[in-house]
Amino acid sequence: MMACILISAVCQSTTYTYTQSFTGTQYGKYQFDVMQAALDVTAKKYDKVSLKSHPFPMSQSRQIVTLLDGKADLMWSVTTEKLENTLLPVRFPLLQGLGGHRIFVINQAMQAHFPPNQTLDNIKRMACVQGADWPDTQILKDHHFTVHSATWSDWYTGMYRSLEEGMADYFPRNVIEVQRDLNYHLSEKLRIEKNHLLVYPSYEYLFVSPQRPELQARLYEGLTILLKNGELAKLFNHYPEHRKAKMMVNKDHRVVHHLSSSVLPYTWDNSNWEASPQAFLQEFYARNESWF
């Protein structure tokens, strides 16, 4: 009888499947750690669950379909109004809003075209590259940037190759991911541009399948606990690229060009939850009243 009970308990354990754009030991490691920590810290109240990656990497649009079809349970993405109306968003800015701080990757020969007094209008006339289904692409196009889009299948190598070969002038990349990308490509030609920074509202959230509302609620609860006990900040700062990103945006020598977002009808006043956790929580709870 005891053996049957144990077998039944094992069979009833829950495994949540998440999707991602790429495979590899480092891609999405922070997001995975946050998801797992949020589930672990709530295990006493609910139950212990496990996470597994969907076996196939896929584009963002394909990830959304996979969650809608119930073939996976959660994903992470830069949010948009459309996406929040399609899936169940966990409106907690995982990257503290740093995803909207875009630094330029360039061919080193292009630095002379980006002096400190270079105007935003002239920057818009130069050719930049972005992923075809990224929300950033729409934001830049709406502000009349000259944007060349790359498909998911080749963007990770193709966009950087276009800089190396002079087919594009710059790649606005968020400060969180730019160091990892350059370490991956190890190109002698590629550099981080020295003088300019684009800033616009952009927040990366976890998103849950509409079939899993209990998971959305649990992640909200877990993230709030992790913020209050300081573990979320420890997780964030564990990654060298995150620490470098904060240093890049805090340097005062860059000319900052502020843009509005055309894909999101709201902005966070206190998305930097590490610097002002109480202010963030006050805004978080206030917003929840209108979001739910």
Q: Write the secondary structure of 27-92 as one string of H (helix), E (strand) and C (coil).
A: CCHHHHHHHHHHHHCCCCCCCCCEEEECCCCCCHHHHHHHHHCCCCCEEEEECCHHHHHHCEEECC
Q: What is the pLDDT of residues 70-129, one digit of tens each?
A: 999 999 999 999 999 999 999 999 999 999 999 999 999 999 999 999 999 999 999 999
Q: What is the pLDDT of residue 292?
A: 59
Q: How far apart are CA 97 and CA 261, in angstroms?
A: 13
Is residue 257, in this structure, part of any structural domain at all? no
Residues 65, 91 share a domain: yes
Characterize 221-239 residue by residue with b for buried, 16 or more Cβ atoms within 10 angstroms of its Cβ, and e for exposed: ebbbbbbeeebbbebbeeb
Residues 76, 146 share a domain: no
Q: What does the radius of gyration of the chain's CA atoms come to, in whole angstroms?
A: 20
Residues 277, 221 share a domain: yes
- CATH code of the domain in which 119 resides: 3.40.190.10
Give mean pLDDT, residues 54-73.
94
Residue 256: phi and psi, rounded to 5, are: -100, 125
Residues 210, 88 share a domain: yes
Closest residue by Cα to residue 286 from 94, 91, 76: 91
Residues 24, 87 share a domain: yes
Q: What is the pLDDT of residues 142-190, one digit of tens each?
A: 999 999 987 765 666 788 999 999 999 999 999 999 988 898 888 999 9
Residues 172, 55 share a domain: no
Residue 104 and residue 171 in contact, taking contact as beta carbons nearer than 8 Å: yes
How many structural domains does the chain have?
2
Is residue 250, in this structure, part of any structural domain at all? no
251: left (phi over 0), alpha (psi -120 to 50) or beta: beta
Is residue 44, in this structure, part of any structural domain at all? yes
Whether the per-residue pLDDT at 8 is higher than 70: the answer is no
Residues 165, 42 share a domain: no
Q: How far apart are CA 69 and CA 66, in angstroms?
A: 5
Residues 218, 179 share a domain: no
Largest CA distance in the chain: 78
Q: What is the pLDDT of residue 25?
A: 60
Whether the per-residue pLDDT at 271 is higher than 90: the answer is yes
Residues 153, 132 share a domain: yes
CA geometry: angle 185, 133, 235, nearest 5 deg: 60
80: containing domain: 14-97+203-229+273-291
Q: What is the pLDDT of residue 254?
A: 93
Q: How far apart are CA 230 and CA 224, in angstroms?
A: 10
Residues 158, 285 share a domain: no
CA distances from 149 to 13, 65, 231, 242, 261 (A): 43, 21, 38, 26, 18
Residues 136, 69 share a domain: no
Q: What's the pTM value of the predicted model, to 2 decimals?
A: 0.90
Is residue 268, in this structure, part of any structural domain at all? no
Residues 106, 93 share a domain: no
